Amino acid sequence: MAETEIKSRKDLLDIESLSIEEIEYLLKTAEPFKELFRRSVKKVPTLRGKTVLTLFYEPSTRTRTSFEVAANRLSADVTNFAVSTSAVVKGESILDTIETLQAMRTDYIVIRHGASGVPALIAKHTRASVLNAGDGFHAHPTQALLDAFTVREVYPETEQKRILIVGDILHSRVARSTSTIMRKMGMEVGVLGPGSLVPEGRPDYMKSFWNWEDALAWKPDVVYLLRVQMERQEQQFFPSLGEYHRVYGLTSERFKRVEGAGIYLMHPGPVNRGVEIVDEAMAYERCLINQQVENGIATRMAALYWLKPGEENER
């Protein structure tokens, strides 16, 4: 009998709507899943006979693969709905696609879409559990969970710890979801980015910095570098990648200071070497990027384990 009863939800759409107890539950649940990776049989029969469908309207090898591995290790059957070759390009509406998916009796839908709110729309119209794998500039909840899990591995007590998020904050759902979860865990959040890329309406709790000098003087415990997302910038917000690296990137000189202060480094991947981060920082012993990848599988397993699709006859 569990002492703390955390009722299952149908969908995982964002971090904002999760209670701190639910976040705690998910992070705790991810631990035994991570331990499974050390067994010879890395698979458990938990979702045997269930189907997971990945539906990516934006390309993402890492997140999709991570979800697929997570679902496979839970013994679910995974199908990748290949969007570019599907009827979507023929003008089929999202709701028609849902109708089709519904007929396939899928139990979990993992979706990424360029427009905010699409996962929520799909969740409303299907009995399947919907996991938001990134929508527009809105949310990327499983990324936030894996980031929180990773921080907790190095800092079991997160209260008052400081995380500095560097980069394209404006176009980043990662920045939004990850800063929200860190805040919920009692951390202090600072942001550093080009003036044109730090949103004006940012929440009060975020402390903003305009240069590395001030940001490092704030003594962060973790530096979280965002990826420069060339594809999501319709206008140019900074002159060139070289310019970005010089002003906001983790250069050799800044890396030496980070290393000297023992600050942990994180990045959601994939890394643009020489833009956000200098090559040698990838081999730094407090660089948690590979750990984030492994933890992504464990936390996504925890999410799939926790969510419960609606009843068979429901829509």
Partner 1 sequence: MGSERTLLSGEGITEKVGELAAEIRKRCGDDRPAFVGVYTRGVTLAKRVKEALKEEWPDIPLGTLDISLYRDDLDDLQTAPKLESSDIPFALDGTRVILFDEVMYTGRTTRAALDVLMDYGRPARVELAVLVDRGNRELPLQPDYVGLKVETKVGDYVAVQFVEDDKREGVYLTD
Q: Which residues bind partner 1 (CB under 8 A)?
A: 2-8, 25, 28-29, 31-33, 35, 39-41, 43-46, 74, 305-306, 308
Using an 8 Å Cβ cutoff, are 247 and 210 in contact? no
| Three-state DSSP class for residue 219 | coil
Q: Which residues contact 118 (CB under 8 A, 6 or more apart)?
A: 57, 94, 111, 135, 136
DSSP lists the bridge partners of residue 225 as: 166
Query: Min. distance of Cβ 52 from partner 1 in angstroms?
Result: 15
**Residue whose CB is less far from partner 1, 39 or 90:** 39
DSSP lists the bridge partners of residue 191 as: 165, 208
Query: Min. distance of Cβ 145 from partner 1 in angstroms?
Result: 15
**Residue whose CB is less far from partner 1, 44 or 293:** 44
Among 13, 25, 17, residue whose Cα is nearest residue 299 = 25
Query: Min. distance of Cβ 162 from partner 1 in angstroms?
Result: 30
**Residue whose CB is less far from partner 1, 10 or 286:** 10
Query: Min. distance of Cβ 43 from partner 1 in angstroms?
Result: 8
- First vs last C-alpha separation in the chain: 32
**Residue whose CB is less far from partner 1, 51 or 179:** 51
Query: Min. distance of Cβ 36 from partner 1 in angstroms?
Result: 8
Neighbours of 35 (CB within 10 A): 10
Q: How far apart are CA 152 and CA 285, in angstroms?
A: 17
Query: Min. distance of Cβ 115 from partner 1 in angstroms?
Result: 30
Q: How far apart are CA 50 and CA 70, in angstroms?
A: 13
Element (H, E) at 156: none
Q: What are the phi and psi torsion angles at 203 (to 5°)?
A: -60, 150
Q: Which residues contact 123 (CB under 8 A, 6 or more apart)?
A: 10, 11, 13, 130
**Residue whose CB is less far from partner 1, 35 or 99:** 35
| Cis bond upstream, residue 270 (ω within 30) | yes
